[in-house]
Every structure is written in C-alpha cells, then in structure tokens.
Structure 1
Amino acid sequence: MLNQLEIEESEVPKMCLDLYKEYGTTMAGLKVLGYEFDNDEFHEYVHGRLPYEKLKPDPVLRNLLLSMPQRKIIFTNADKAHATRALNRLGLEDCFEGIICFETLNPCSDSKTHILCKPSVEAFEAAIRIADIVDPRKTIFFDDSIRNIASAKATGLKTVFVGNSVLVPGADYALSSIHNIKEAIPDLWEDNKDEKLEPLVQQAAVAGMVHA
C-alpha cells in the first residue's frame, strides 16, 4: 500500500495522525489530498495488521446492552468487516440492531470519491436518516471523541462522552467507563417514562446510538 501511494515509510506515522485530526480518518484525508486507491484494499491492509486477539469478551457490557429495551445501532467510520470482527471478539455481535459503517455512508466505490465520515455533521445527518430516527433529541450517541460529540450535538442528538468523567463541549453526560451507563442514565431502564431515549453507539471498542 505504501508503494502504491508512493509515501515514504518514515512519513507515515505523522501523516496518519495529521490526516486523522483534520479529516476524521486517514483514508478520508488521503482522498482529499488527491490520492487514488481501492477502498477495500486499503481497509484490508490497515485492519489486517490489527491485533484482534487482544480484544476479549466483555460480559458486563453485554448484559447491560441486552437489558436496555431500546433499539441500539453501531455507527462507525470503519468498514463492516472490521466492525463485525471487533464485535465478535467482544461477544457483542447480537446486541445491536444494525451497523452504520463505511460502506453505508460511502456506497460508491470510485477511487476518486471523497469519503463521508465522522466528525462531519453531514455524516451524522446521514446516519440519522439511515437509522430512521424521527426525533434526534430522543436518541443518545456514545463516543470517546470530543469532535464527534460536538458534531452529534449539532444534529440534535443527546450525547455521552466516554472515557472521562469530565464534561466536554457538547456532551450531556460524561462516563469514565462505558460500564457506568446504568448509574449515569437510569432513565434508559425505566419503561414507565412517557419519553424513552434510544442509543446510537459509535465504535471505539463499541460505539453507537440508542433510540427511544
């Protein structure tokens, strides 16, 4: 892949980080810079080097997700193969109604086409349409990215910043651990509420939306 893109190996780490910060993913940034490549080959190259064996089943999170009565949807910048593999390793493959992923947002495989992905507001608006969410205010988005949280809030979603208990701009809740959902947002388990919230989970280890 490095040879195909004619990028010096020594430049790769900094370039990847800079593009991720600017465009949301390295792939999206490369496309903006004018690089042409096959999307599937890029994903296979990048994800084929990941240590999936380090991901272990998370029964605590699994039980929490299964106990939530709302629809739950994964929303990730990754391709479906990577998202599915990660969920299988975590033991969460049957906890979600569906996966909104790279292929969902970018159905055209043209090597020249720019990539639609988080944190762009357009990506969130597309995900909301695809998930058939009528009222974003009744949907909770979980993510560990400050930029993604801000964009989600801009589209009207309720937001949960995961990985730190300190609120960031645009976050309605902040959790040091995803395992703390029930203590922080007990309304998700209260069926007698007139208005229930539903989750949209972004993929970090897990990411996503919960919709009421």
Structure 2
Amino acid sequence: MHERGAGGRRRRDDPGWHDGAHAACRGIHEGGRRNDGPRRRPVSVLLADTRYWIFDLDNTLYPAEAGITRQSGLRMRHFLKDRLAISDDAEAQTLQRRYFRDYGLTLVGLIRHHGVDVQDYFDHVYDLDLSAIAPSPDLAAALAVLPGRRMVFTNSPTEHAERVLDRLDCRAQIDAIFSIRDAEFQAKPAPEAYRRLIQMHAVTPEQAVMFEDIPRNLRPASDLGMRTAWIRGDMPKHLMDGLTERDFDFVVDDLVGFLARTVAEQDWGAHT
C-alpha cells in the first residue's frame, strides 16, 4: 500500500513481509496466535515501540452483539422520518445508508444537505439503552498498563463515548476522547479527521496503532504511518473499500484477549 518509513518497516508488497509480521499476527483468534512455525514472532514484538493506542468506540471496545449500533440505527431512521417528513421506512433507510456511505456518518450528510440541528440529532439518536454493555475488568486491566497514551477516536459525540466507557468501567484508563465535534464534523474515514487527531494530541503516527471495526476507516491511518488492527466482523462490501485481511497489520477477533496477550508478552504489567 505504501512505504512505512520510520523504523525500517517493510512494504506489504515485499515478499518477505508476509513471512514475518503478517504471518505472525493475521491468525489471531480469541486473543492468541496460530503456531505458524519457527519463523513466527510474538505479536507484541511489532507493538513494542507503540506509545499511542487509538481505539474506535462502538463495536470495538465492546462486542457488536450488544446491539447498540442497531439500536442507534433505528433511532436515526425515526429522526429522519420525523425531521425530514419522510413517511416510508425504506426511504429513510436508503437516505441513512447513502449519507453513511458518502460521508462516513449520516449526520454529516444531514448537516450539508438539510441543515439539521446537531444537538437535536445527538439528543434523539444517542438516547440509547446501554445496559447490554457489561463492565469489562479485563479490558480495564489491559488498558491500564499499555505504555503511552490511550485514546478513543469516534464519530460519535463525547457524551456517548463517556457513557460507553462508564458502562465498561474503563473511563479512568482512557486519556483522551477525540469525538466528531473535535474533528469539526470531518467523520472517519475523511483524512482530515486523522490529521486533526494527530495535531490535537501530538501523535507520532509511526508509534501509533489504531483499532477499528470498519475496515475503510483504517486506510487513512495506514496511509499516515500508523499500524492498523481490524476488529474482524461481517462487513458490507462498500465498508471493506477493496481491503482484505492482508492490508492490516493485525486481524483481531477478541480485543481483550489480544491486548492481554500483548501485555503479557511484553511484561508491561510487571512495571506498574
């Protein structure tokens, strides 16, 4: 995809790359690695110099099975029908999906084309029942010992991120939340959102890793020099954006397990 630059990191089209980095980590399942033979390396070797841990929020810090995205989608369609006087569910869903596809966030399309009141949208769409999100002491423990800064990078408002982190009981382990307001409504995957994050929080991309469930949102991070970790799930083709598993540094089925394994391999917990 591109030359990684600092640290002598190989290009993904280098034949030797697959033998090293990718072979060591694309087989991650439930936080572990396949035994790929004598050339395998602990995934933590590739993260040893990481000092910026950037996490998407919904369907990344907690499992998609919690159904929060489905719940917000229903509230979003209700908002479209009510505020834009749309009577048909299918029409509202089509508009919602089109704006999400084109702008990375339905709200951005509503602002540009309909001048909706942002706070009215937030108040309606994010009035969510988060009871399906359970506290995650294992996640909190892993986050607590990661070296450097831990950030949430979300297309949602800060208030929603704080509520989710409170449900996970992980708010104290997150150093910063970069929300859609902070991005000045440049939603992921707009490259400007990533540049604003880097500037606001003085992130060194070559020392950063980004975790995200939507594959297309990882492309700009990779282009800027960050390592990328896809939280694997069933994705529509347009959200894959032509990407495959080989385009990510890590493919992760269980974030908590992955972080716990990384912490254990680096023995970071011994220094807390």
Per the normalisation by structure 1, the TM-score is 0.76
Tell me which residue corresponds to 1:27.
107
Q: What displacement does 1:168 show?
A: 2.7
Aligned equivalents of 1:169, 1:25: Cα separation in 2: 26
Tell me which residue corresponds to 2:115.
36
Unaligned runs of 5+ in 1: 107-114, 192-212
Whether the 8 Å contact between 1:141 and 1:157 is mirrored in structure 2 is yes
Q: What displacement does 1:189 show?
A: 3.6
AA at the equivalent of 1:15: L
Aligned equivalents of 2:95, 2:226: Cα separation in 1: 32
Aligned equivalents of 1:104, 1:188: Cα separation in 2: 35
Q: Which has the higher contact order (CA 8 A, sep 6+)?
A: 2
Tell me which residue corresponds to 1:67.
145
Figure out how many residues of one structure are paired with residues of the other and give that number. Answer: 179
- Answer 1 or 2: which has greater helix percent: 2
Tell me which residue corresponds to 1:171.
248
Q: Give the direction of change, closer, same or farther, for the CA distance of 1:188–1:81 in structure 2 (3 Å limit).
A: farther
Aligned equivalents of 1:7, 1:86: Cα separation in 2: 31
Q: What displacement does 1:13 show?
A: 2.1
Identity of aligned residues (%): 23
Q: Give the direction of change, closer, same or farther, for the CA distance of 1:3–1:183 in structure 2 (3 Å limit).
A: closer
Tell me which residue corresponds to 1:109.
none
Q: What displacement does 1:22 show?
A: 2.2
Aligned equivalents of 2:102, 2:217: Cα separation in 1: 12
Q: What displacement does 1:190 show?
A: 5.5
AA at the equivalent of 2:83: Q
Whether the 8 Å contact between 1:146 and 1:168 is mirrored in structure 2 is no
Tell me which residue corresponds to 1:138.
207
Instruction: State the secondary structure of the residue aligned to 2:174.
Output: coil
AA at the equivalent of 1:70: G
Q: What displacement does 1:182 show?
A: 3.6
- Answer 1 or 2: which has greater strand percent: 1
Aligned equivalents of 2:125, 2:88: Cα separation in 1: 14
State the superposition RMSD in angstroms: 2.3
Whether the 8 Å contact between 1:75 and 1:100 is mirrored in structure 2 is yes
Instruction: State the secondary structure of the residue aligned to 2:195.
Output: helix
Tell me which residue corresponds to 1:127.
197
Tell me which residue corresponds to 2:97.
17
Aligned equivalents of 2:263, 2:84: Cα separation in 1: 49
Tell me which residue corresponds to 1:160.
229
Q: Deviation string for 1:116-170 (max 9, x for gaps)?
A: 110111111111111111x201111110111011121112111111135x96364
Q: Give the direction of change, closer, same or farther, for the CA distance of 1:103–1:89 in structure 2 (3 Å limit).
A: same
Whether the 8 Å contact between 2:145 and 2:263 is mirrored in structure 1 is no
Aligned equivalents of 1:149, 1:184: Cα separation in 2: 22
Q: What displacement does 1:94 show?
A: 0.6
AA at the equivalent of 1:61: L
Tell me which residue corresponds to 1:45.
124
Q: Give 1:88's match in structure 2, choosing from 152, 163, 166.
A: 166
Unaligned runs of 5+ in 2: 1-78, 234-242
Aligned equivalents of 1:170, 1:96: Cα separation in 2: 27
Q: What displacement does 1:55 show?
A: 1.1
